[in-house]
Amino acid sequence: MARKSGRAALVLTQAQTAMLKELSGSRTAPRREVERAKVLLGYAGGASITELQRQLGVGRPMIYKCVDKALAAGMQMGLKDKYHRPHEPEITDEAKAWVVSLACTKPKDHGLAAELWSISALARFIGEAAEAAGFARLANAGKSTVWRILDDSDIKPHKIRYYLEKRDPEFDRKMQEVLMVYRDVSLYTEGAVHDARPHPIYTVSVDEKPGVQAIGLTAPDLPPVPGKASAVGRDYEYVRHGTVSILAGIDLHSGHIFANVEERHRSVEFIALLKQLDEHYPQDAIIRVVLDNHSAHISKETVAYLGTRPGRFEYVHTPKHGSWLNLIECAFSKMARTFLRHIRVKSKDELKTRILKGIAEINAAPVVFRWNTFDLGLA
């Protein structure tokens, strides 16, 4: 070797020399390979170890190792690291699997208060339980170690990814029924009448917006002041007066909104809305109601009322957990973004009055909400 038998010659072919020159001038190759290419070029050119150390600014041990490997096994070996594992990994695959299995449980399953693990809480729990589980090496594992183990398995126990479970086995069929109703409305929206029907059919989407809060001020709002305050000033504290529910329906042909503001949503309140619809439409018309499966919609009292008006109402139920299919939600969204936003009142009665006033303002310039069924392949 170079240090034991004097200076041994390193003979390079023309192709090897060209390759080393290209590598020694590279800006993208690993630095260690660039330095080794320069060492081999210099040594093959007759430079001494001392000269190479001075020219390249690297240590003598590195030069000796590089040259020795090249002399023993060829130029390519001189460029590469010799793979070796000084000892077996301290954290075994079984220990890592145990960490991942713990991360897939919830803290409350182990008698803790939290619902989800934080990385620090998981690392602390692992440290306390590792020895008893037979993984003593993990007793001192920190957050970074736990994080690396979880990252290798792409496990993030501190995050939630929401999904919608289809709890209605007839979800697809009911969705198709609702969408077919919307297509029918879009085809015959003018007057809700066409020649093939003996009676006009008016379609109304009905639902409830619960929990609208009656929030009051503890101090007067401060108006904007030019040059001083650009926005309305409002005290951080507020007073809760309770909540109300908006029980509403929207005529899908005209955009007119029918609404009652109630303290609760029971059969009696729903029947009151049905009576409002009954009084509004011609007596020979059919009122097709798109609605969910709320108990008030199918209760004994409601069914008894529908029995007094045979053939007048026709139900189309949305699937369970499919409220997004009901177009009244668009109207509720508009209310939330307009007059309900930042609203402050002195009582629930004032809130009811202002909600009905806001709905009257919408009805003064109604918008017909349409579902684009063409995007769903129903055209």
Q: How confident is the model at residue 242 (pLDDT cuts 50, 70, 90)?
A: very high
First to last CA, the chain: 82
Residue 154 has pLDDT above 60, yes or no: yes
Q: What is the mean pLDDT of the chain?
A: 87
What pLDDT is stored for residue 141 in this prediction?
A: 86
Please give the share of the chain, as a percent, with pLDDT higher than 70: 90
Rounded to an integer, the average pLDDT of 147-172 is 86
- Average pLDDT of 215-226? 93
Cα dist from 231 to 163, 340, 342, whole Å: 39, 18, 13
Choice among 87-91, 255-259, 285-289 with the minimum mean pLDDT: 87-91
User: For residue 4, is pLDDT > 90?
Assistant: no
Full-model pTM: 0.61
Contact 140, 127 (CB under 8 A): yes
- Note the pLDDT of residue 63: 86
201-217 β-sheet, strand order: 257-262, 238-251, 201-217, 286-291, 313-317
- The amino acid occupying position 17 is T
Statement: residue 198 has pLDDT above 80: no
Q: What is the model's pLDDT at position 375?
A: 47
Domains detected in the chain: 14-79 (no CATH), 93-152 (no CATH), 174-376 (3.30.420.10)
How far is 189 from 253, CA to CA, in rounded Å? 5
pLDDT classification of 191: cutoffs 50, 70, 90: low
379 pLDDT above the threshold of 70:
no
Output the CA–CA distances (angstroms, integers) from residue 310 to 81, 166, 249, in the order listed. Answer: 88, 33, 21
C-alpha 296: how far from chain center? 33
What pLDDT is recorded for position 47? 87
- 376 has pLDDT over 60: no
SS (H, E, C) the chain: CCCCCCCCCCCCCHHHHHHHHHHHCCCCCCHHHHHHHHHHHHHHCCCCHHHHHHHHCCCHHHHHHHHHHHHHHCHHHHHCCCCCCCCCCCCCHHHHHHHHHHHCCCHHHHCCCCCCCCHHHHHHHHHHHHHHHCCHHHHHCCHHHHHHHHHHCCCCCCCCCCCCCCCCCCHHHHHHHHHHHHHHHHHCCCCCCCCCCCCCEEEEEEEEEEEEEEEEECCCCECCECCCECCCECCCCEEEEEEEEEEEEEECCCCCEEEEEECCCCHHHHHHHHHHHHHHCCCCCEEEEEECCCHHHCCHHHHHHHHCCCCCEEEEECCCCCHHHCCHHHHHHHHHHCCCCCCCCCCHHHHHHHHHHHHHHHHHCCCCCCCCHHHHCCC
Q: Specify the pLDDT at position 32.
A: 84
41 pLDDT band, cuts 50/70/90, is: confident
pLDDT, one tens digit per residue, over 288-346 is 999 998 899 999 999 999 999 999 999 999 988 888 889 999 999 999 999 999 999 99
Q: Residue 193: is its pLDDT beyond 80? A: no
Structure tokens at 294: 């709320």
Lowest mean pLDDT among 4-13, 78-87, 222-231, 370-379: 370-379
Give mean pLDDT, residues 43-66.
Answer: 87
Q: Are 357 and 246 in contact (CB under 8 A)?
A: no
Q: What percent of the chain has pLDDT over 90?
A: 54
363 closest CA partner among 284, 255, 209, 224 = 255
Say whether pLDDT at 3 is over 50. no
Return the number of other C-beta atoms located less than 10 Å from residue 53's C-beta.
16
Does residue 194 have a pLDDT over 90? Answer: no
The pLDDT of residue 1 is 45
Give 55 or 340, the one with higher predicted confidence.
340
Confidence of residue 118 (pLDDT cuts 50, 70, 90): very high
Distance CA 193, CA 337 (A): 34
User: Quick one: tokens of 84?
Assistant: 């070796």
Mean pLDDT, residues 36-42: 88
State the pLDDT confidence band at 5, using cuts at 50, 70 and 90: very low
